[in-house]
Structure 1
C-alpha cells in the first residue's frame, strides 16, 4: 500500500483499457488520469516546477503563472498548494466550470480571457495577458508550457518508458496534440528505441498545429490556435484530425460501457479507430494515450443541452447512445495525412 505525504507523489501509470470489446478493434488505452490532478499534465507540471526550483527561479515570494485550458492549471494548482506557492491560471471561456472551481478550491486565482486572437482562438490573447502581468511584477514566474523543454522531457523520461516496458513489441502509438509535450517526448524516445514505432498525432479539426485553416473549437484540451513551438514534425509519421462531433460520440460510446473519459481522450480514441479501420491490423500492437477522465466534462460533453445547442439534436445518433455490439466496426469520420518526407 503506497503511503504519500505530497499529492504529486502518487500517479498510477500501469493501467490500460483494452477497447476491443467496445469498438471491435484492438487498441490499448493508457489511462493517465489516475492521480490527484486527474490528467497526464501532472508529469509535465512536476518536471517544470522542479526544474525551476533547481535553477533558482522560484523563491518564497514567487507567484507561479501559466496559460492553460484546464488540465495543466489543475496540476499546477495542486503542486502550488503542496509547495506553498501562489498560482494564477490564465484561461478562457471554454474552460469547464468544474475545472475552474477545482483550481479555486486548491487556492489558485483563475483569470478568464474573453478576447479572441488573430486566429479566432484564445491562446494568443491569454499569452499576451500573461506577459503583461509578468512585466508588471518580477515576482511572477511563467513556466511557459508552450516552450518549456520540461514539458516534453517529462514524457521522454516517464510516459514513453512506461509504455515500452508494458509493450516491448509496440507497432503504433497514438498521441493527442496540444502543446505537443506528450507527443514530442514519446516520439523522441521511440525514435531511439530498438524497433520502429509509428507515431500518429491526433489533432482537432480547427486547430492550426499542423497547418490548415483555423476553426471553432469548443472542447478544451487538444489543438492550438498557433503552431506549437515544441513541435518537430520530423518525429511524426502521420496526423489524424478529428471533428468535435466524433470526439463526443467516442466519449459517449465509452461511457455506455462504464468508462467516463474526457474530451482529449475521446479525440484520441476517435482518431485511432479511424486509423486502425484503414490499415491491416492483424498482429499489430497499438497503444493510445488517454490524457484525462470525464468528471470535468459533465456540464459540457455529457450535458444534453450543451451538446444540442452547439452540435445539433442528432450529434449522438442512436448508435452512440447504446453500447456497440461485440465485433462492431463503426468508425469515426476523421481526416488524416502522412508526414512529408
Structure 2
C-alpha cells in the first residue's frame, strides 16, 4: 500500500471511460478529476508553483494570488496549504458556492468580483484586481495562469504522453478551451509526433477565445471574456462551439449512466458528439476527449432542477442517441475566424 506525504499525490491519472454504451458513439474520456483538487487544474497549479519555487519567486511568507473561476483556485488552495503559503483567490459570481467553501476550508481567502469591466467582462475585472493588489503589496505573488508557460508545459509533459501511451493509434483529440493551457500543451505534444492527430478545441458559446461575440455564460470553467494569451490558434485543427443548454443535457445523460461529471466535461463531450456526428457514415476513428472535472461541485447548478429551469427552461428529454438531440447549430462566427465548426461537418 502506498504511503504519501503530500495531498497532490492522491491522483488517478490513467483512467479512461468508454462512452459508447452511453452515447452509441466511439469516444473515450480521459478522467482528470480523480484527485483531491477534483480537476485537471491540479497539474498546472503544481507545475507553476514548482517553477516559482525554483526561480526564487515563492519564499516563506509569500501569499499566492490568482484569478480563477473555481478549479485552479481549489488546486492552489490545496497546494498552498500543504506548502505553508497564504492564498487569495479572486473569482466572480459564477463561481460555484461549493468551490468557494472548499477553498475556504483549505484556509484560503476568496474575493468575489461582481462588477464586470465594460469591454473585458468579469474576467477582465478579476485580472485588473489582481494586478492592482500585487502593485500595492509585494507579499502577493501572481503565478498568472493566463500567461504562464508552465500552464501548458504541464500537459505537454504529462497529459499528452499519457494519452499517446494508451492510444497509439489516436486519430482525434477533443480538448476544452479555458486558459488554453491543456489545449496548447496537448496540441504541441501531438504536433511533434510522426502520426498526425486532429486536435479539436471545444468552447462555450459566449466565449471570445475563437472570435465569437461575448455573451452571458452561466457555467464556470471553459470559455473566456478575454482572448487567452497562451493560445496559438495555428496549433488547433478545428473548433466546436457548444450552447450551455447542450452542456447540461450531456451532463444529465452521463449521470443517468452513473457518471457524475462537471460542467466543463459536459461541454467537451457535447462538442465531441457534435463533431463526430458530422463525420462520414462508417468512418472508423479512435477518438479521445479530456474530462477536466467531476460533478460534485455542480450539484447547486447543473444538477439542480430548479436552477436549470430558472436559467434554461424545462429539461429536455429524448429517445435515441444524444447526438441527434443537440441544439441547432449556432450562427457562424465573424468573417476571418478560421477552422470554426458550429455544426456537424
Q: Same fold (TM over 0.5)?
A: yes
Question: Cα offset for 1:2?
Answer: 2.6
Query: 1:1-21 deviations in whole A, cap 9, x for unaligned?
Result: 332110112321111111111
Deviations 1:227-275 (A, max 9, x none): 1000000000001000000000000000011000000000000000000
- Equivalent positions of 1:60-71 (< 5 A) are 60-71=60-71
Give the aligned partner of residue 242 of structure 1: 242
- TM-score under structure 1 length normalisation: 0.95
Task: Give the match for residue 41 of structure 1.
Answer: 41
Matches of 1:147 and 1:2, distance apart in 2: 36
1:226-265 alignment to 2 at 5 Å?
Answer: 226-265=226-265
Q: How far apart are the structure 2 equivalents of 1:87 and 1:293?
A: 23
Residue 133 of structure 1: aligned partner: 133
How far apart are 1:329 and its partner, in Å? 5.0
Equivalent residues of 2:250, 2:322 under 8 A apart: no
User: 1:33-75 CA deviation, whole Å, 9 max, x = no partner?
Assistant: 0001000000000000000000000111100000000000000
SS at match of 1:203: strand
The answer as to whether partners of 1:119 and 1:214 remain within 8 angstroms in 2 is: no
Deviation, 1:194, is 1.8
2:120–2:226 CA contact under 8 A, matched in 1: no
1:306: which partner in 2?
307
Structure 2 unmatched ranges of 5 or more: 341-345
- Please state how far the C-alpha of 1:121 moved relative to its aligned partner: 2.6
Question: CA offsets per residue over residues 125-168 of structure 1, 9 Å max, x none?
Answer: 00111011101111100000000000000000000000000000
Alignment partners' CA distance in 1, 2:42 and 2:286:
27
After TM superposition, the structure 1 = structure 2 runs for residues 1-341 of structure 1, keeping only pairs within 5 Å, are 1-119=1-119, 121-280=121-280, 282-312=283-313, 314=314, 316-319=315-318, 329-333=323-327, 334=329, 339=339
Measure the CA separation in 2 of the matches of 1:84 and 1:270: 40
What is the CA distance between 1:283 and its match in structure 2?
2.3
| Match in the other structure for 2:343 | none
Between the aligned partners of 1:197 and 1:119, the Cα distance in structure 2 is: 36
SS in 2 for 1:44: helix
Hey, what's the Cα distance between the residues in 1 that align with 2:122 and 2:2? 40
- Provide the TM-score with structure 2 as the length reference: 0.94
Q: Following the alignment from structure 1 to structure 2, what is the Cα–Cα distance between the partners of residues 35 and 84? A: 20
Quote how far apart the aligned CAs of 1:118 are. Answer: 2.4
Separation (CA, whole Å) in 2 of partners of 1:81 and 1:209: 32
8 Å Cα contact 1:134/1:140 also seen in 2? yes
Conserved? CA contact 2:274–2:323, under 8 Å? no
Q: RMSD in angstroms over aligned alpha carbons?
A: 1.5
Q: Secondary structure at 1:8's aligned position in 2? A: helix
For this pair of structures, how many residues does the alignment match? 333
> In 2 relative to 1, CA 309–6 (structure 1 residues): closer, same or farther, beyond 3 Å?
same
**Distance in 1, Cα, partners of 2:179 & 2:323:** 31
* Farther-moved stretch of structure 1 (196-205 vs 118-127): 118-127
